[in-house]
């Protein structure tokens, strides 16, 4: 398979995984076989990606900052990152709200479907767990998320993948201090992080060698564990509205790449496609982050000074796909359960979905937790929350896969855009896992 481009190999792995999953559904005990013997391959792959996420952020951000010739450049990158992330999220939410108000997918849901979905999911641990998780998150104070960004113990920050913002904070602090001690004293530590950064990127190349097989396992498992096809069918209209919105978001990114970045948008898509395919297969922008960084730096040509900050921050706070989905899902639930939303309510959805996308974890299913908070912001009755979530639960996994692709594409587009604005977009110089193979074999 060596001559085929990586994205084709991954795509073939995905398709074979889907076909294998369907075949196994026809065989007695097939689903169990996939869960016990096939899925672990995908789980190991996701664990490997998560394993290198923290060292990669640490090394690449410290390298990025310590390479800066002018520290004020960093303030400009930081400000542009936040402003552009907020803008793209607001655009995503507006697209979602416009589509759901035009097509009204919730109005066509029959009472029979509502009661089947409620019976199947409303009391499930999954739905109840999401509501409980949302309540926990809501109990925190308004500035808690800023306080939470600052670690009190460097090692515990580095030992928990969920504390990505703390790792970013620590890396920034270390990188800036390294700049301030002068070139001579900084050199040993800087060389260490430079080398660590190269090593971790090589680990990404090595892990990616197994990607086609891992996505096979991940997708076969998604197929054997998906819900009743009839329930999926009942939600097809709603799901199509979400997917239609996500596709419009892709068009928006491609226009930005063509008009502002002045690159061929299809070339851009091809360069980042392995990251998109992994986002789809894993439903996790955090797990995909190492691959997104590798693709954007080595294959698109974004300077590390930009990508090392913009991408990890984006994986944590910028979720265009998730916020678009939350807007559509919130209005869909309101329509299906005859809960009237005023114009002010819809504006409230824009605001809370924006905050929710910042607060959502970059892991599978996180968007649904924040959806509870979006619904509560428009005074949706608490006793109907479980029914509301039950309505969309059957299609949540496939939609999660799609929205994660948009989350990752949004981060890649914004980092390329900022690189362009800062004059930090270079010619791509892809590296391969075996560039130095001759020297060591």
Binding site for ligand ASP (CB under 6 A): 283-285, 319, 322, 360, 362-367, 400, 403-404, 407
Report the nearest approach of ligand ASP to the CB of residue 64 (Å). 23
Report the nearest approach of ligand ASP to the CB of residue 205 (Å). 23
Judged by beta carbon, residue 66 or residue 281, the one nearer ligand ASP is 281
The answer to whether 298 touches 357, Cβ cutoff 8 Å, is: no
Judged by beta carbon, residue 178 or residue 361, the one nearer ligand ASP is 361
Residue nearest to ligand ASP (CB): 367
Q: Which two tokens stand for residue 28?
A: 């007695």
Q: Which residue has the tokens 């076969």?
A: 220
Judged by beta carbon, residue 365 or residue 388, the one nearer ligand ASP is 365
The answer to whether 428 touches 299, Cβ cutoff 8 Å, is: yes
Judged by beta carbon, residue 99 or residue 289, the one nearer ligand ASP is 289
Report the nearest approach of ligand ASP to the CB of residue 381 (Å). 24
Judged by beta carbon, residue 81 or residue 360, the one nearer ligand ASP is 360
Judged by beta carbon, residue 261 or residue 319, the one nearer ligand ASP is 319
**What are the two backbone dihedrals, phi and then psi, of residue 425, each rounded to the nearest 5 degrees?**
-105, 120
Phi-psi sector, 339: left (phi>0), alpha (psi -120 to 50), beta: beta
Report the nearest approach of ligand ASP to the CB of residue 276 (Å). 12
Judged by beta carbon, residue 165 or residue 174, the one nearer ligand ASP is 165
Report the Cα 31 to chain-centroid distance in Å: 27
What would the DSSP string read from start to end of 320-375? HHHHHHHHHHHHHHHHHTT----HHHHHHHHHHHHHHHHHS-SSTTHHHHHHHHHH
Report the nearest approach of ligand ASP to the CB of residue 159 (Å). 21
Q: How far apart are CA 215 and CA 236, in angstroms?
A: 25
The answer to whether 31 touches 24, Cβ cutoff 8 Å, is: yes
Q: In 209-303, which residue ranges form alpha helices assigned H by DSSP? A: 211-224, 229-234, 236-256, 265-282, 285-294
Judged by beta carbon, residue 17 or residue 365, the one nearer ligand ASP is 365
Q: How far apart are CA 343 and CA 340, in angstroms?
A: 10
**What are the two backbone dihedrals, phi and then psi, of residue 141, each rounded to the nearest 5 degrees?**
-75, 170
Report the nearest approach of ligand ASP to the CB of residue 412 (Å). 13
Half-sphere exposure of 179 (CA within 13 A, CB side): 18
Report the nearest approach of ligand ASP to the CB of residue 36 (Å). 25
Burial class of residue 8, CB neighbours in 10 A (0-12, 13-18, 19+): middle
Report the nearest approach of ligand ASP to the CB of residue 410 (Å). 10
The answer to whether 353 touches 374, Cβ cutoff 8 Å, is: yes
Judged by beta carbon, residue 61 or residue 246, the one nearer ligand ASP is 246
Report the nearest approach of ligand ASP to the CB of residue 1 (Å). 28
Q: Which two tokens stand for residue 324?
A: 């678009």
Query: What one-character DSSP code corresponds to residue 68?
Result: -
């Amino acid at each position: 398979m060596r001559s085929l481009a990586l994205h084709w190999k991954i795509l073939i792995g995905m398709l074979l995984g889907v076909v294998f999953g369907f075949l196994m559904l026809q065989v007695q005990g097939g689903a169990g076989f996939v869960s016990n013997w096939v899925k672990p391959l995908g789980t190991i792959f996701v664990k490997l990606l998560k394993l290198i996420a923290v060292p990669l952020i640490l090394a690449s951000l410290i390298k990025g900052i310590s390479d800066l010739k002018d520290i004020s450049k960093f303030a400009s990158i930081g400000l542009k990152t936040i402003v552009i992330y907020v803008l793209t999220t607001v655009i995503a939410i507006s697209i979602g709200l416009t589509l759901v108000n035009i097509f009204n997918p919730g109005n066509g849901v029959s009472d029979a479907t509502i009661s089947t979905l409620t019976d199947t999911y409303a009391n499930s641990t999954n739905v109840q767990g999401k509501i409980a998780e949302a309540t926990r998150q809501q109990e925190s104070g308004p500035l808690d998320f800023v306080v939470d960004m600052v670690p009190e113990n460097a090692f515990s920050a580095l030992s928990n993948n969920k504390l990505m913002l703390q790792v970013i904070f620590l890396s920034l602090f270390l990188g800036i201090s390294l700049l301030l001690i002068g070139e001579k004293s900084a050199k040993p530590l800087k060389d260490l992080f430079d080398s660590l950064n190269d090593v971790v990127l090589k680990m990404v190349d090595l892990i990616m060698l197994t990607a086609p097989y891992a996505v096979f396992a991940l997708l076969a498992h998604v197929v054997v564990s998906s819900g009743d096809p009839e329930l999926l069918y009942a939600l097809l209209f709603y799901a199509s509205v979400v997917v239609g919105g996500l596709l419009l978001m892709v068009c928006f990114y491609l226009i930005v790449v063509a008009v502002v970045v002045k690159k061929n948008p299809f070339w851009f898509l091809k360069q980042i496609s392995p990251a998109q395919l992994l986002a789809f297969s894993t439903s996790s922008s955090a797990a995909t982050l190492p691959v997104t960084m590798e693709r954007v730096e080595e294959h698109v040509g974004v300077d590390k000074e930009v990508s090392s900050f913009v991408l990890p921050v984006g994986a944590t706070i910028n979720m265009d796909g998730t916020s678009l989905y939350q807007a559509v899902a919130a209005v869909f639930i309101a329509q299906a359960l005859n809960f009237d939303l005023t114009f002010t309510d819809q504006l409230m959805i824009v605001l809370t979905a924006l905050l929710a996308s910042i607060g959502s974890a970059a892991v599978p299913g996180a968007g649904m937790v924040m959806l509870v908070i979006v619904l509560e912001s428009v005074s949706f009755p608490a006793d109907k929350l479980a029914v509301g979530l039950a309505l969309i639960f059957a299609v949540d996994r496939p939609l999660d896969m799609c929205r994660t692709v948009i989350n990752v594409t949004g981060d890649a587009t914004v980092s390329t855009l900022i690189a362009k604005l800062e004059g930090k977009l270079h010619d791509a110089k892809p590296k391969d896992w075996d560039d130095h193979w001759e020297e060591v074999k």
